[in-house]
């Protein structure tokens, strides 16, 4: 049975200016020179840089976005649609990141609509799920994560149009990470839920781990069972740091 091709994805969050495009170019150079061997590579910059990054991209690193509105167009001041992001050159869109869920009160229902909008445009949705520290301490990790998965991932999801990112909220930007065994446990539960829902196709969805991934811990986290890559925040901002994570797949 084939396995999903891993993806190492960078989420720049609200960071980066026009001069940060040089960092993207530096990453492309590193990836071209060193190769990726066995993974795909993606950067999701802020909206302001998507078009410039995508138009300058030479190929080894894909360009995505960090969120989208679920409507195609209309009276939604400040929002951007998946259709517009496709037009700007994005090929992936992250939806349901915990910072969106927390800062913008995004529910599973909203995340589901956004993922459907991503699919309707032929792009790949990276659907994020993850428990808070309090939920983990209450022993509810699996219940929360599988609940978010069931309610945020559309019925039309396939391994080609959807990726699941497990990101424990307490591990994001904190330097704390779950143990490899903890990551394997929840990723295996996610895999089982996908197989139950989608049959054998469930085996081919990429499952990314995210939360304080850096070059020094990527090796051990990326070999955890059912982990098919990483979603990286802070350590994706500098080409050299991010490339150190890609090393886990070289």
Binding site for ligand PGA (CB under 6 A): 11, 167, 172-173, 210-213, 231-235
CB of 233 to ligand PGA, least distance (A): 2
Q: Which class for 4: exposed (0-12), middle (13-18), buried (19 or more C-beta within 10 A)?
A: middle
97 is catalytic: yes
CB of 84 to ligand PGA, least distance (A): 22
Residue nearest to ligand PGA (CB): 233
Q: Are strands 7-11 and 62-65 parallel, antiparallel or unpaired?
A: unpaired
CB of 232 to ligand PGA, least distance (A): 5
Q: Do the Cβ atoms of 155 and 119 come closer than 8 Å?
A: no
Beta bridge partners of 10: 43, 232
Q: Which of 28, 69, 167, 187 is catalytic?
A: 167
- Three-class SS of residue 94? strand
Q: Which of 23, 28, 69, 97 is catalytic?
A: 97
C-beta closer to ligand PGA: residue 66 or 141? 66
C-beta closer to ligand PGA: residue 89 or 210? 210
C-beta closer to ligand PGA: residue 122 or 173? 173
User: Can you tell me the distance from the alpha carbon of 237 to that of 109, in angstroms, rounded to the nearest whole number?
Assistant: 31
119 is catalytic: no
CB of 195 to ligand PGA, least distance (A): 25
Q: Do the Cβ atoms of 27 and 61 come closer than 8 Å?
A: yes
User: Can you tell me the distance from the alpha carbon of 151 to that of 157, in angstroms, rounded to the nearest whole number?
Assistant: 12
Q: Please identify every residue annotated as catalytic.
A: 97, 167
């Amino acid at each position: 049975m084939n396995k999903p091709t891993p993806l190492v994805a960078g989420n720049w969050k609200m960071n980066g200016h026009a001069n940060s495009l040089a960092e993207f170019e530096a990453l492309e150079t590193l990836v071209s020179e060193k190769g990726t061997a066995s993974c795909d590579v993606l950067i999701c910059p802020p909206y302001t840089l998507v078009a410039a990054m995508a138009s300058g991209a030479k190929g080894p690193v894909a360009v995505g976005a960090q969120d989208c509105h679920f409507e195609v167009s209309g009276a939604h001041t400040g929002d951007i649609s998946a259709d517009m992001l496709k037009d700007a050159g994005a090929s992936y869109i992250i939806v349901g990141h915990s910072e969106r869920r927390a800062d913008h009160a995004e529910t599973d229902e909203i995340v589901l609509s956004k993922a459907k909008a991503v699919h309707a445009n032929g792009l790949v949705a990276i659907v994020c799920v993850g428990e808070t520290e309090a939920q983990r301490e209450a022993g509810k990790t699996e219940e929360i994560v599988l609940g978010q998965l069931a309610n945020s991932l559309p019925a039309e999801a396939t391994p080609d149009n959807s990726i699941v990112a497990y990101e424990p909220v307490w591990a994001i930007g904190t330097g704390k990470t779950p143990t490899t065994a903890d990551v394997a446990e929840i990723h295996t539960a996610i895999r089982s839920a996908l197989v139950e829902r989608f049959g054998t196709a469930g085996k081919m969805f990429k499952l990314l781990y995210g939360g304080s991934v850096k070059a020094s811990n990527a090796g051990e986290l990326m070999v955890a069972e059912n982990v098919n890559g990483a979603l990286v925040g802070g350590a994706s901002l500098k080409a050299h740091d991010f490339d150190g994570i890609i090393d886990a797949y070289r």
